[in-house]
Amino acid sequence: MNSVKLVTFEFNSNPPKNQLLSAAKLYCEIWQEEPWNEEWTIERASDKLTKILSREGSLLIFAMINDEVCGFVGGKPTTTEELDERTKKSLADTLNPNEIFSIAEIGVGNTQRGQGLGKKLLGGMIERVSPDNDVRVVLHTDIKAESAKRLYASLGFRDTAITDSKVPTHTYWIR
């Protein structure tokens, strides 16, 4: 863990090409795993990661070992309208009237897991977007994603049991 360096990108910035490629490779590997079973191409993964930075207030953090990305977390401010769209009103009602920041992606390469890196990435992002704990942080995850659920619980998130209308096996967690 000592040799891991965190690199942060803000709204409208572009990660260097070699870092983006490395992150996109990791992204493809991670989402192939259970329970996700998703097939991504490097191109689509790169697009997904860079699009996170298209909204004011967004952040993307890469964990680097030498020139390789071994973990990432990304998120952006969101609105109650967008959450309404995903959860058919129930979650936005719970969160109103706070500012809301949505975690879009988090992943750690499987050889680096269990050493506190996920907590460092997500904890660092929360510290940055909600230093006084006045911004609600939301994310959704699969009900079978045990490692992710433990990470979220360890950072004070709670499972609302409110499901995502687009992915019914995902529930929203808030903090």
Ligand X SMILES: CC(C)(COP(=O)(O)OP(=O)(O)OC[C@H]1O[C@@H](n2cnc3c(N)ncnc32)[C@H](O)[C@@H]1OP(=O)(O)O)[C@@H](O)C(=O)NCCC(=O)NCCS
Return residues touching ligand X (CB under 6 A): 30, 106-108, 113-119, 141, 145, 147-148, 150-151, 154
Burial class (CB in 10 A: 0-12, 13-18, 19+), 134: exposed
24 vs 96, beta carbon nearer ligand X: 24
Residue 159 tokens read as 């499972």
What's the rounded Cα separation, in Å, for the pair 31 and 142? 12
What's the closest the beta carbon of residue 78 comes to ligand X, in angstroms? 15
What's the closest the beta carbon of residue 26 comes to ligand X, in angstroms? 9
41 vs 154, beta carbon nearer ligand X: 154
What's the closest the beta carbon of residue 140 comes to ligand X, in angstroms? 7
- Across the chain, the runs of DSSP E, i.e. the strands, are 4-10, 59-65, 68-78, 99-108, 135-142, 158-163, 170-174
Burial class (CB in 10 A: 0-12, 13-18, 19+), 127: exposed
21 vs 104, beta carbon nearer ligand X: 104
84 vs 142, beta carbon nearer ligand X: 142
* Residue 158 Cα to chain centre, angstroms: 16
What's the closest the beta carbon of residue 12 comes to ligand X, in angstroms? 25
1 vs 17, beta carbon nearer ligand X: 1
What's the closest the beta carbon of residue 122 comes to ligand X, in angstroms? 8
| Closest residue to ligand X using C-beta atoms | 118
